[in-house]
Amino acid sequence: MSVRILALVGSLRAGSHNRQLAEAAVKLAPAGVDIALHEGLAEIPFYNEDVDVEGGVPAAAAQLREAAGAADALLLFTPEYNGTIPAVLKNAIDWLSRPFGAGAIGGKPVVVVGTAFGQYGGVWAQEEARKAVGIAGGKVVEDLKLAIPGSVTRFAETHPADDTEVAEQLAEVLNRLHALVDGEKAAA
């Protein structure tokens, strides 16, 4: 069965190590898995119920909801900003959580991974992202985790896809997510 995974990157910087990690995921996706790296999080305005009305939803937010709705699972890549989740990723989760009880990620498996400069690889941000996405209705896959420390030095001259250890760990996350989604589809 074909599995569609939507990847969201919490860093807007073009050369971001988390973006590179997402690019590595696209490259390492197992057969039967299509990972779509969503562009345009920077264009989504901060969530506001006054504009989240029929005919008023900003195009970038509507595109995000459509992409999430078409996906079988989500894969979030988050850096750690001041010990927590970046605003752009939290904002995406907020848009995906609505309408209340019927958001685009409701019941979908969500895995959170990432890399950060610190010695723990952004685990605080990843935990915050898991908490937010779980409250938003996503089905957080708690046993699939990948936090890569020391991003600034580790990836200074090496793309994550070319780091053997990281590539193996990321491939394991992708294979397990693929198996989980396949299992859910078969059971449905």
Q: What is the arithmetic mean of pLDDT over 12-41?
A: 97
Tens digits of residue pLDDT in 106-128: 999 999 999 999 998 999 999 99
**Structure tokens that stand for 66 in this block:** 């459509």
Q: What is the pLDDT of residue 188?
A: 84
Reduce the DSSP state of residue 73 to 3 states and report it. Answer: strand
Percentage of residues in the chain with pLDDT exceeding 70? 99
Against a cut of 0.85, is the pTM above it? yes
- Which residues in 21-121 belong to E strands, given as ranges? 33-37, 73-77, 109-115
Q: What is the pLDDT of residue 70?
A: 97
**Alpha helices, DSSP H, located in 36-159:** 59-70, 87-96, 123-135, 151-154
Interatomic CA distance for residues 167 and 159, integer angstroms = 10
Is 128 buried (19+), middle (13-18) or exposed (0-12) by CB count in 10 A? buried
